[in-house]
Amino acid sequence: MFLTLLILLFVAVFIAGLNYMARKHVSFSKRVFSALGVGIVFGLILQFLASPDDSFLQNAMNWVNIVGRGYVNLLQMIVMPLVFISILAAFTRLTFTKNLGKISGLIIAVLIGTTAVASVLGISASIGFDLDAESILQGEAEESRGASLVERTEGLSAPTLPDQILELFPANPFLDLTGDRATSVIGVVIFAAFLGVAYLGVSRKQPEQGELFKKIVDAVYAIIMRVVTLILRLTPYGVLALMIRTVATSDLGAIYTLGKFVIASYVALGVMFVIHLVILSIIGLNPLTYVKKAFPVLAFAFTSRTSAGALPLNVQTQKNLGVPDGIANFAGSFGLSIGQNGCAGIYPAMLAIMIAPSMDINPLDPVFLLTVIAVVAISSFGVAGVGGGATFAAILVLSALDLPIALAGVLISVEPLIDMGRTALNVSGSMVSGLFTSKVTKSINNDEYNDDSKRLDTSEFTI
């Protein structure tokens, strides 16, 4: 009991330190990275002082988990309302209704296209680093995770393309708002889009009712954004608790064994981010300006591991880069459920190539490689933006390729580590889709893009 209380005392001191930094107006990014660093260091200290199975450590981590898991639950609480109102607000703020179809199509095309490219990089990383799922040792945690993944695939096993498309449509949008289905996010997007299109028609024929609806949407949007701000203020504390628990209870031996997979993943993620910068260069935008302005939101996505939680920062960053309000909301919201480059592109492609040899499939077979790329691109619809999205994408891809799902469980030990990079890449992909669409439709404000003073203001995240 004494050791448990001692650990909790240290955690309380760290939380108090983060609160002190906030009161001294230390920047949001610095506080988040400080929490990340302290969490990792303290977790490693606990690793060397105790076994993850020790009862006093488990008891302490259960209390620490109230802060970490509580923060994640709050993010999940706001995801559906945030996606719904963001899409609806995108319609009420549109000034280019004639190009609506073109804008939506361009955003989706960039998201899916970059995800296909990401899958190629995932394939290349697995082959280049000679990754093989059978060569990785599986412990009890990995076997348990594999068994749970098999259970989750009972309703998802090898779906046909028509079935996958049909699954996207919201038969009951109010049920989707509860997150009941795996594809609930995209169901909410579609429902909000229908309401948005209806609003555009009403605003033309009945301007007074349209204006009233717009005011209601704007008011709800302001309230939801305020709730998001309140939750984001808790990010440093949530990150601290999550990292302490993750590092302190991880099997370092398993992480060492899977080190090559982690390195291969980050090589692929890094190359894909460079491709994002190349795309911006091709369309005439300075990639260095993008990196400087996008860093705060990418840092948040990296440490919090949630694309959905980063949505308001994502949209505001795009607007600081000269993207119109409507396009920014579309790109940010679509990017939560369609074509996530890291979670739905690189990750499932790497797993498919790793697992293929165990099924006597030649991973270098051109037909198999093309099939993997196509399946990854198609399956990238409806991936959730908060925790578990990569696992869901992997389940869809592996089951569609008739590959064993359970082998994905061997990566449980390094999931949090690689998920940070995947999430940051997801957010970058959605912002690039907004910038690309704005440039092609000639609606981007180049002066704002190059204005160095137009930076993300995180001062409101100070308690």
Q: pLDDT per residue over 132-157, tens digit each?
A: 776 554 555 555 555 555 555 555 44
The pTM of the full predicted model, rounded to 2 decimals, is 0.82
DSSP 381: B
DSSP 341: I
Bigger pLDDT: 453 vs 236: 236
Percent helix, strand and coil across the chain, each rounded to 5? 80, 0, 20
Rg (C-alpha) for the chain, rounded Å, is: 22
Domain limits, the chain? 2-452
Tens of pLDDT, residue by residue over 387-416, are: 556 666 777 777 777 777 666 655 666 777
Q: For the chain, what is the mean pLDDT?
A: 82
Model confidence at 116, in pLDDT bands (50, 70, 90)?
Answer: very high
Tens of pLDDT, residue by residue over 74-83, are: 887 887 888 8
Question: Any idea which fold 2-452 has?
Answer: Proton glutamate symport protein (1.10.3860)
Query: What is the distance between the alpha carbons of residues 10 and 388, in angstroms, rounded to a whole number?
Result: 30
Tokens 């970490």: give the residue. 68
Q: Which residues of 396-414 are buried (b: 16+ CB within 10 A; e: fewer)?
A: bbbbbbebbbbbbbbbbbb
pLDDT at 156: 47
Tokens of 349: 């492609």
In DSSP notation, 260-292 reads HHHHHHHHHHHHHHHHHHHHHHHTT--HHHHHH
Indicate the length of the chain as a whole number: 463
Nearest alpha carbon to residue 186 among 162, 164, 156, 214: 164
pLDDT at 237: 93
